[in-house]
Structure 1
Amino acid sequence: MRQIVSRSAVLPLLLCSCDGTGDAEPVTIDIDPDQMAWESPRGDLWDIADVMEKDGLVWVLTSADPLVHGFRGGIEAVAFGRHGDGPNEVRSALALVDRGAMGEITLWDAAARMHRTFSETGTLVSTWDAGRLGTVRGDIDIVTFGDPLRVATTTEGTVRSEYREAVSSAPDLWTGRLARFDDDGGVEHVVDFTELLGAPSDDRSAGSILAPVPLWDVCPDDRIALLDPTARHVYLVGASWEIRDSLAVPWGVRPLTREDRMGYLRGQMEAELQGQQVGPEIQPMLERAEAGSRDQFAPSTPLGVDLRCAAGRVWIQAFDGDSPPLGHGRLWWTISLAGQEPGYTRVTLPGRFRPYRISDSRMLGVVTDTLGLQRVASIELPSALRADRNQ
């Protein structure tokens, strides 16, 4: 593992990068629902794990058989894949990976620690080792944001987190380290989250629910965008941790409210009831639960709950207490990487739309209705958010 620069050595760089970030009022851009284009039929999908565009198809990975769906022009063209231990089967597919030749799609089978590449007809073409991950609880996606199971593609391979300890709550995400895995089996550890300036101390007396965690994504130029939410900086990491830039995050956080805590508890209960709406009769129980668990919550809202990197721009999703349980709301902040100084923009997306992939010109994501049924949609970005405007 490469030597990590000490916190004291990094501090002058961070202090220098703070100048001039908070003077100008950021532009706000609203994207209306009528700007969405549907990429899949209504009512056919649920429990989507990932979506991706490749070779003229919009690929969708779900948790139910058939696992993989390919759509062209909003019409399903292919569907294949099932759970199991057989030759063409998958144990636990969690993500789509942009590897493989034309007409092939690759899945990350986390339980088997394998990448599996299939043809468009569903025939298994190849497999290769995906490396170790660590132990992550199965419902971590409703316990905390931060996506410890994220895998992102680079030119030569993939990037993932590895964890020393079992991940069962937000503080456990700080035990991870980011690693680059090349297609030939090589592994290079890029950064240890425990060495970040904002990493929590060993004292875990502070509340862990809705606590800030590191967020990251791979950019089109293969740099890794990494948010340290406590130090309020985004790092752009090159080939190694020593090759990086640092950008200040100018927006702040607010104290976590009773309504935020109630929303989290209500969302958790609905998740346990498999999406059923919690009625008013449950309100006294929620109030008692909130009163008895206040010290288990973080004192403030998190700086962000998701991060995506596109060409020339980093996107960070703001926490929204009205979008329980984890605050994945409509507001995103963007940081433009062009020019001498970073530019900041607030973007409001259509309700119930969650982006999975953001390019320099469009978003690809999922809209979930009140019954939990999902539909894939795309959004063409306005010119103010396109990379070519700032280059």
Structure 2
Amino acid sequence: MRPVSVRTIVGIVLMGHYLSAFTVLGLPLFLPLFLSSLITAVPAWMYGVFYIIPTLLTAVFTPWWGRMADRYGYRLSLQRAYGGLAIGFFLAGVSQSIGLFLLALFIQGICGGAMGASNAYLGSFLDRAQLRVALNWTQFSARLAMVTAPWVIGLVMDYKPGLYIYSLLSLFPLSAFFLSFLLPITDKKPESNASITGKNGLMPLDAESMPPIKLPLLLGLQAVYSFSMVVTFPYFVLYAHKLGLKSNGVIGFFYGFPHLVYLMGMPALKKYRPPNALFNGLFLFAVSVLFQGYSPTIGSLVLFRLLMGVGIILTYCGLHDVLSHWAKAANSGAIFGQFDSAGKFSGAFAGLAAGFLVQNGNVFSPFYVAAVASFAAAFFILPYMKAVEGSA
């Protein structure tokens, strides 16, 4: 069989990740509308709880899936994620009761983690410099989904709302599942490594190979940043209604606008590594969400969502720089599993927090909390920036 080029392999992985992310990231925005078609008088807290169920389950299972990928193969882990998502979304689309819809969410969560599986696959054969760039591109595919999916799904909802959209979009991860068979099977970790890994699936590191930030701190930063972003997601439709926006298509555009900024700016990172990206990104993100909560108008929303997008670019650039160190110093499946899990756990907590904040405050409250968390993370990481910059 003719060898597949690295560029082609990366392209297939990114396409598969985009197809799965389109459904995972696009549909939850309209969860309040989907739930209202199953039950009447939906309490506000239920949106947040149902929003976080798949996220929480993915957080629980992703580290385990990562260790299984290290042991049994990275392509198989990708196929597990795509196949499970296809089944989960199809069941959600044919649900006629809240019980079956809940079961579908459980399947989506247990079999989720496509980003961690994609990154682990890439980490199994790319060197650190290539991987740092590739991680930005997997994030690019996720942001592309966040830009296109809410807008497209919003337009479909304007035309003909209904749960059938879940079943229709289950074809996306199903397509990714079949596309993954074009990928070569990468080598699993050598058995010699398995004998010296710790209980968390990581190999012991010497001082020379130690990344500039310890793993617990990296996971903590991922958790805080994910919380800051996700806490603003579940009630964005209601937030937009408060500002006077009515069209689901327009709301979907504003929801995805920061990620459009990411798509426009991220390709520059292939040739340019912005200095102090992690601190600057967290700080700009904090400023943007603070003003989205403090003085929101439809006009100012464009500016603040633009600033939010710049913050996302810089923050992910900084996080991926450190993450690429860890992925090449230890088992990539275990590392990406824990990194993805940290983000998912904090995202699940953010969903609950958003419900509490809106229930006891208003639709602007999640933005204030996101600003506080991001400012805290930015100033906490500041003393470490010299070590991060020196490790480039």
More helix per residue: 1 or 2?
2
Q: Tell me whether the two structures share a fold, i.e. TM-score over 0.5.
A: no
Give the alignment's TM-score, normalised by structure 1.
0.22
More strand per residue: 1 or 2?
1
Give the alignment's TM-score, normalised by structure 2.
0.22
